[in-house]
Amino acid sequence: MAAYARSCQARGNRRVRRVEGQYTSEGLARAYLKALSTIENEGFAAEIDTFFFARPGRITEPRFLREYAWVVLNSGFRESVVSKLFDAFSSCFFEWQSAQRIVDTANFCEQSALRVFGHAGKVRAIVDVARVLAQHGLDSVLSAGSPQTVVAKLPYIGRVTTAHLLKNLGVSMAKEDRHLARLAASMGFASAQSLCECISDVVGHPVGAVDTVLWRFSTISSQPCSQFALLAQ
C-alpha cells in the first residue's frame, strides 16, 4: 500500500480555504499521504488495505452480520477495547457464518456472548438482526430502500453509526465521528464527507480508505488538527 500511495499524483489544483490560511489540493494530498505513511509505520497497513477491496456488491450475510456487530459494539466504547474481545465475541456467533444458525441457537449465542461483552441490549439486537436476515434474506432486506434508509432502521444504529456501517460495507461514505468532524472543521470543510471526498478526488483512494487514514491518524496523534495542517502547508 505504501508504494502505491507514494506513486499517486495530484489530479487538480482546487484551493480549499479556511480562516487562518489556504490549502491547495496538492497540500491536502501531501498531508494525507504523510498521514498514511505514519499509520503504516505504526502497524495499521492491513486496516487500510481492507477499504481498497471493499465493494457494496460483495456484501454477504456473514460480512453484514460481522460489520453490524462490530459497529454496534464500538458505539460508546473505545475501538481498542472492542478489538481485544471481538474474536472471542465472534466465536459466540459461529464466526457469523449463518444467520439461521444464530437464530436456531439464539439462547446459547446470547448467553455466551454476554460473558464476553456484558451489554444485553446490544447482544439481543445482534440476534434480532440475524433473525430478520434468516426470515427475509439479505437481498430482500437490502432492497427495501436506499442503503442509508435500510441501515438507519437497525437497532443501535444512529446517524454516525449509519455512516460507519455503510463505510465498512464498501459504500463511499465517511463517518462523522468526533475525530473526523473536528479535523474537517479545522481544515475549513463543512463535513468529514466533504474532506474525504476532496482528498479522494486528488489521490484516487476510496473515500472509506481516506476516512480510515484520517481517523487513525487522529487517534495516534497528540494534536491531529494542527499536525495535519502543518503537513498540508
| Distance between CA atoms of residues 225 and 218, nearest Å | 8
Identify the band that residue 115 occupies on the pLDDT scale cut at 50, 70 and 90.
very high
| Distance between CA atoms of residues 90 and 128, nearest Å | 16
pTM of the model: 0.76
Q: What is the pLDDT averaged over residues 190-213?
A: 91
Residue 203 cell numbers, joined: 489521490
CA atoms within 13 A on the CB side of 170: 12
Identify the band that residue 50 occupies on the pLDDT scale cut at 50, 70 and 90.
confident
Q: What confidence tens digit (pLDDT) does each residue in 1-45 have? A: 443 443 443 344 444 444 333 578 889 999 999 999 999 999 988
